[in-house]
Amino acid sequence: MSLRQELRVIPKFVWAIAILVYVGILIGMITIAIPQFPDTANLPKAGMIALGLVAATIPAIYILLLGYVYGDAKRRGMRYVMWTLLAIFVPSALGFILYFIFRDPLPIFCPGCGASVKSTFVFCPRCAVTLRPTCPQCGNALEPSWAHCPHCGAASPSGKAVVPAASPAPRPL
Ligand SMILES: [Zn+2]
Ligand SMILES: [Zn+2]
């Protein structure tokens, strides 16, 4: 995932809010706040603009981060409103950290009908195409690299070629 693709996850209305907040704070800082405080009132014009830019960037980035959580949770089929609220209200950015630890994997696209489906699904809920291998004996989902079913021990139909029974190379610990 490139940064550009990730930025596209942020909804357009969040970009609009972030830009409005950025411009609003920048104008407010330069025209009202900075000239009011004795410490900053005598700054040269360039210094005032620099200070205003810094002050406006922080809340704008915060809003974009919230927008990322909102859009990213939505595309992953998660409860995006709840996660956005957690990111806002859990202090010390803990909501953000929890989100990045517990977020679901990205959905995959069904090869049969193109629907966006959870990567853990075995069959497409829309067209019933098989999305991942299943155990011929107990029917549980298998990873393509597994040689045996972890539920019943049956040999996996797809795993045999990937993991040979007698491997000549010593297995790393
Ligand atoms: Zn499908
Ligand atoms: Zn099995």
Ligand 2 geometric centre to CA of 153 (Å): 6
Does the pLDDT value for residue 1 go beyond 80?
Answer: no
Q: What is the pLDDT of residue 9?
A: 95
Task: Write down the mean pLDDT value for the chain.
Answer: 87
Please give the model's pTM, rounded to 2 decimal places. 0.71
CA of 118 to the centre of ligand 1 (A): 11
Residues 86-135: tens digit of each pLDDT: 999 998 899 999 999 999 989 889 999 999 888 888 899 999 998 888 88
CA of 115 to the centre of ligand 1 (A): 6
> Residue 19 pLDDT > 80, yes or no?
yes
Nearest ligand to the CA of 121 is 1
Looking at residue 71, its pLDDT comes to 96
Domain chopping of the chain, boundaries:
3-104, 107-165
What is the pLDDT, as a whole number, of residue 171?
Answer: 54
C-alpha 111 – ligand 2 centre gap (Å): 24
Q: How many Å apart are CA 117 and CA 112, to the nearest integer?
A: 11
What's residue 167's pLDDT? 45
What average pLDDT score do residues 61-90 get? 95
Q: Please give the distance, rounded to the nearest whole angstrom, from the Cα atom of residue 84 to the centre of ligand 1.
A: 30
Q: Dihedrals φ, ψ of 134, to 5°? A: -125, 155
Give the Å distance between the CA of 29 and the centre of ligand 2: 65
Distance (angstroms) between ligand 2 centre and the Cα of 142 equals: 8
